[in-house]
């Protein structure tokens, strides 16, 4: 998506889908598909130059708990914001929730997100994840609107986390279960209940 000049702007677990066993062939299980491009925005011109941010961008209407800090400041979202949302998704998938999941006030969420960048807040946020995720967050947080993220650095940190854990990258967690289910004729699991998007209110400065 980034390579063709768009940012997603609504990264959350429901925007990804895992491949499935097709005619007995499991190789599609290693593909992760991106869904729902309703909020995607073109950040790059046809000639490859970066578009300047709009002074009054459309409001973020994705799920509040994954909203990046710039959404609460009503700023144009960019590649760094997609990565910030992805980081929040990873924390939720590993730990069950982000620390601000029960917050409802936009300013409270924004302040909580700022607090988890250092000290005890950082421990609360990333405790239990590989230490490489601290460096990943720093890599994301140092970016500005038009910056090209160092994806190779992030990939390398993830690879190092896998190596240090002693786990093998393959097979993925879901592969064996899906293959066995296909053999048993059970097919894919029932779809998850769809969550309605929420419009995020601007945080008070």
pLDDT by 10s per residue, the chain, length 205: 999 999 999 999 999 999 988 888 889 999 999 999 999 999 999 898 999 999 889 888 889 999 999 999 999 999 999 999 999 999 999 999 999 999 999 999 999 999 999 999 999 999 999 999 999 999 999 999 999 999 999 999 999 999 999 988 888 888 877 666 666 666 554 454 556 666 677 765 5
- At a CB cut-off of 8 Å and minimum separation 6, what does 189 contact? 181
CATH code for the domain in which residue 92 is found:
1.10.510.10
Domain that holds residue 133: 2-170
What is the CA angle 3-6-11, rounded to 5?
105
| Residue 115 located in a structural domain | yes
| Residue 72 located in a structural domain | yes
| Residue 193 located in a structural domain | no
| Residue 76 located in a structural domain | yes
| Residue 119 located in a structural domain | yes
| Residue 187 located in a structural domain | no
| Residue 108 located in a structural domain | yes
The domain total for the chain is 1
Residue 6 near residue 41 (C-beta atoms within 8 A): yes
Instruction: Record the pTM.
Output: 0.85
DSSP of the chain, one letter per residue? -GGGTEE-S--SGGGEEE---BTTBGGGGG-EEE---TT-EE-B-TTSPBPPPPSSPPPP-S-GGG--HHHHTTPPP-HHHHHHHHHHHHHHHHHSS-TTTT--SHHHHHHHHHHTTSHHHHHHHHTTS-THHHHHHHHHHT--TTPPP-HHHHHHHHHHHHHHHT--S-S-TTHHHHHHHHHTT--SPPPPPPPPP-PPPPPP-
| Residue 47 located in a structural domain | yes
């Amino acid at each position: 998506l980034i390579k063709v000049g768009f940012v997603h702007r609504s990264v959350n677990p429901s925007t990804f889908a895992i491949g499935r066993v097709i005619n007995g062939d499991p190789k599609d299980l290693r593909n992760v598909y991106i869904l729902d491009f309703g909020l995607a925005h073109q950040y790059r011109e046809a000639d490859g130059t970066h578009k300047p941010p709009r002074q009054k961008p459309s409001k973020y209407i994705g799920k509040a708990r994954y909203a990046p800090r710039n959404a609460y400041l009503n700023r144009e979202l960019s590649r760094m914001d997609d990565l910030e949302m992805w980081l929040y998704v990873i924390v939720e998938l590993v730990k069950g929730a982000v620390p601000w999941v029960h917050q409802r006030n936009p300013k409270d969420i924004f302040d909580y997100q700022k607090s988890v960048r250092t000290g005890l807040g950082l421990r609360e946020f990333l405790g239990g994840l590989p230490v490489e995720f601290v460096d990943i967050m720093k890599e994301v947080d140092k970016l500005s609107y038009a910056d090209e993220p160092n994806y190779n650095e992030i990939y390398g940190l993830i690879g190092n986390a896998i190596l240090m854990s002693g786990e093998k990258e393959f097979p993925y967690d879901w592969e064996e279960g899906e293959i066995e289910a296909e053999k048993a004729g059970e097919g894919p699991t029932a779809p998850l209940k769809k969550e309605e998007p929420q419009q995020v209110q601007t945080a008070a400065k």
